[in-house]
Amino acid sequence: MGVSPKLILSTGLGVLVLAWIGVFLVDAVDLFGTGSALYDLLHRRHSSRAWLWVLLFTEGGPIEMLQWLILAMAAGLAFHIHGRLHLAGTASKDAICARAFWLIMGIAFLLMLVEDTGNARHWIRALVRAVFGGRSGEITEWAYFIALGAVPLTALVFFSRPILRMPKTRMLLLGGFFCYGLAVAGSVTRYRWYETAGHWLHVNVFRESLKIVEVGNHGHGFWLMDYLVEESIELIGATLLAATAAAFLREYHAFLPGSGKSSDNP
């Protein structure tokens, strides 16, 4: 599975940049009346998704679907690396750490994929809140994310030493962890500050150019953060982590069978 990390990065980040350019041209500028035409076309059927920024960045939309595909590829790469390292049969401490790291990360990628596609936390939160009331739902969501985050953090804290010694792979890995940590922290605390932060972005960054979307009990600022910002950060994180696995295959080939080098001296 010789996937180029540059190809992964250019695909994930390239699509995201194109999506943002599209939002600017269609929604913010209304170039050639494209934004108005899109709204007229979609408003009758999907009034809450009639703007391009919502259509592209909503949950289950094109940007999140690309994130799912990248996470699935990351899981496949992680298990592939683990398998090749296992077949190499190297007994050095670094090789054992690397095998454990990619096995745990493969499991973490699958759990992240299940969470992103199924939104299990929403069902669990709603059930617990309905039964126990009060802040039980919020506390349960925190516990859920802590348990989910403990899987990749275990790999990072205890088994990442050989990975962190490689400059390119280290940069991609830490960048991916940072993005997902930021997205998770934001998601868990979203009801406390998304509306305020989103309103600030709407006024000071986007200069009130993006059309207003208000659905349910949340205002435009909340959805601006929940869709446009959070989904962008998650896609960046998934792309960086998938590229980490691809970069590892190129940088750490000494631990792989058929490399022609000593596995104890990468």
% of residues, the chain, pLDDT over 70: 89
Nearest to 75 by CA among 109, 103, 98, 113: 109
Summarised one tens digit per residue, pLDDT across range 2-15 is 689 999 999 999 99
The domain total for the chain is: 1
Residue 262 predicted with pLDDT over 60: no
Residue 261 predicted with pLDDT over 50: no
Separation CA 233–CA 27 (nearest Å): 20
pLDDT band, very low/low/confident/very high, at 257 (cuts 50, 70, 90): low
> Contact 160/101 with Cβ under 8 angstroms?
yes
265 within some domain: no
If you search the block for the tokens 């496949």, which residue do you land on?
76
> Contact 182/4 with Cβ under 8 angstroms?
no
Distances (CA, A) of 29 to 1, 220, 236: 42, 19, 25
Average pLDDT taken over every residue of the chain: 86
- What's this model's pTM, rounded to 2 decimal places? 0.88
88 within some domain: yes
pLDDT band, very low/low/confident/very high, at 254 (cuts 50, 70, 90): low
pLDDT at 167: 86
Distances (CA, A) of 250 to 62, 86, 87, 243: 30, 17, 17, 11
146 within some domain: yes
Residue 106 predicted with pLDDT over 70: yes
183 within some domain: yes
Summarised one tens digit per residue, pLDDT across range 139-185 is 888 888 899 999 999 999 999 998 998 888 999 999 999 999 999 89
> Contact 218/191 with Cβ under 8 angstroms?
no
120 within some domain: yes
List the structure tokens of 147. 């348990």
Separation CA 39–CA 240 (nearest Å): 34
Residue 264 predicted with pLDDT over 50: no
Separation CA 70–CA 242 (nearest Å): 7
261 within some domain: no
pLDDT band, very low/low/confident/very high, at 36 (cuts 50, 70, 90): confident
pLDDT band, very low/low/confident/very high, at 61 (cuts 50, 70, 90): very high
pLDDT at 122: 78
227 within some domain: yes
Among 19-23, 97-101, 128-132, 230-234, the least confident range: 128-132
Separation CA 251–CA 213 (nearest Å): 46
Domain span at 10: 5-255
Residue environment code for 12-45, b if the CB has 16+ CB neighbours within 10 A, otherwise e:
beebbeebbebbbebbbebeeeebeebbeebeee
